[in-house]
Structure 1
Amino acid sequence: MSKILLTTTRTVLTVIGLVIIVDCVALMAVGKINFGSVVPFLVGSVFVAHGLFWQAIRKFFGRSPWLNRLWYALWGLFVIWLISFIVFIYSLQQQIKLSQQPAPSVAAIIVLGSGTVAGKPTPTLAKRLDTAVPLIESQPNAVVITSGGVGFQRTRSEADIMATYLHEVHNIEFERISQEGKSTSTEENLANSQSILEEKGLSIAEPIAIVTSDFHTIRAASIAKHQGYQQPITVASPTPLSIRYNAWFREYFAFVSGWLLGEY
């Protein structure tokens, strides 16, 4: 590898690694310690280590033929991972396009939580709620469910804050909104919402709209189908450009985590 190419590679690895680490530390600082934050943190750490100590690492693996083969094997695994990541991003973009099409008539509309700050929805959650409003208004007979439990160091459930936002910002009647305020994950969002659907006389065999962020549509649809929802219709809300690609990156690891945990 030429000196210029090596220097460029080390710089890129260091910068990318630091960005990933800072992002993951910020997430873990607010209690989001999970596969989708820990694994990218480890990946970022490996990137930074290679960027700063490339020669020392290469020298270590060059000490013996076995270690040298391990070096190339690890880079081969990295290439395989990179290909799988590209395939995931392509599949995600196709799912987003489908989820942005006008939703057909549905029996219920479930809006998934995504965090709150000082008793208000985060920008990402506000986007989900704003996206749900036209569907709620166009289908007055559909059951509306806000789903989200009490977050880290919070006193109100996301479901309550979401319902308040829909009422105060969009004039959606409180009486129309059912709150599922115990869940802490997408899996629990959809599982706990089933009891509310049953109370309303609805079946998960009916078409159910699931409103979530665009990057989250593949995982939400996969979990819903695994739980028995027969006609889940994901409705995608746009992710702010400033965090869009970061969210897509983390979602890859969250999707792998869901698969390993048997969520779909």
Structure 2
Amino acid sequence: MNLFATSSVKRVLAIATGLVLAADGLILIGLGYFNLGVVLPVVMGLGLCALGLRWRQMQRWLSVTPRRAWLWRGFWWAVCFWLATLAAFWVFLASKKLTDVPTNAPAAIIVLGSGSPGSTPSPTLIARLDLALRDAARHPKALVVVSGGISFRTSSEAEVMADYLQQHGLPAGRIVKEERSTSTEENLLFSRRVLAAAGVSSDAPVHIVTSDFHTLRTGLIARRAGYPAATAIGADTPLYLRYNIWLREYFAVISSWALREY
């Protein structure tokens, strides 16, 4: 294959990959999802499309000085390193799916909100709530804390979660709402206070219900937030959202470490 043909293949691949990434993100934005894991593919996709459309001009610009070509190669080596670490992280998340509830009896079950917009639970949040219902049915003496404040809605996410649980048979007397939190760290810190007010000791066993991708970070933050006997259990993430949310979680793990949340 000659140089021209190789260049044409790279150009087509850049445009095709860019269109797939951009379309994926734009479709999810159209469905009401707006976060880093959704926006970043759009930005990357548009960048790849622009690169493909201006491929020859870019090659001419790079050929002006050796320094430009060196920087360009360095940029792509950095991209390859990032993709390798991202792939390793995704493999780790896939191996940590914990959809089966543990057998140890908890004093409380904490259900973390997912930050989804609207007055009804998102598919991701419904998966968490359904898993919490299964866990609560196995442990009828456990208090159930729904944790989530007001974000894109007029009522708190905890209220939306509590309504769903009651509609699906969980008695209102077992549910306690934590309605101030806006992050995972706050979910756990504020729920700790709610549990203390309800008479649950700080060393009591607790199940923390979240999504499969979120169990790693939840467990790390929980230890720092004062849960020595907490077990994080993860609900399946809907397939059409999974890899976008896993992408967001990759950066969230890094940012939580930088912010000393664990």
TM-score (norm 1): 0.86
Q: Is 1:192 matched with 2:184?
A: no
Deviation at 1:209, TM superposition (A): 0.9
* Alignment match, 1:178: 176
Equivalent residue runs for 1:134-213 within 5 Å: 134-152=134-152, 154-168=153-167, 170-213=168-211
Question: Which one has a bigger Cα radius of gyration?
Answer: 2
Which letter maps to 1:10?
Answer: A
For structure 2, the residue ranges without an aligned partner over 5 or more in a row are none
Could you give the per-residue CA deviations for residues 239-259 of structure 1, whole angstroms, max 9, x where no partner exists?
A: 222222222222222322323
State which drifts further: 118-127 or 65-74.
118-127
Secondary structure of 2:208's aligned partner = strand
Secondary structure of 1:201's aligned partner = coil
For structure 1, the residue ranges without an aligned partner over 5 or more in a row are none
Change (3 A) 1:41 1:191: farther
* Alignment match, 1:235: 233
Secondary structure of 1:150's aligned partner = coil
Could you give the per-residue CA deviations for residues 122-153 of structure 1, whole angstroms, max 9, x where no partner exists?
A: 1211111011111111112212100111122x
Q: Is 1:66 matched with 2:67?
A: yes
Equivalent residue runs for 1:1-264 within 5 Å: 2-3=6-7, 5-19=9-23, 21-22=25-26, 36=37, 39-96=40-97, 99-103=98-102, 104-116=104-116, 118-152=118-152, 154-168=153-167, 170-264=168-262
Pairwise CA RMSD of aligned residues?
Answer: 2.4
CA distance in 1, matches of 2:155, 2:64: 58
Secondary structure of 2:96's aligned partner = helix
Which letter maps to 1:138?
Answer: R
Change (3 A) 1:241 1:178: same
TM-score (norm 2): 0.87
Change (3 A) 1:65 1:117: closer
Change (3 A) 1:68 1:20: farther
Change (3 A) 1:224 1:69: same
Secondary structure of 1:194's aligned partner = helix
Deviation at 1:112, TM superposition (A): 0.8
Residue-pair matches, total: 257
Could you give the per-residue CA deviations for residues 201-243 of structure 1, whole angstroms, max 9, x where no partner exists?
A: 2244332211111122222222212323223211111122222
Deviation at 1:195, TM superposition (A): 0.3
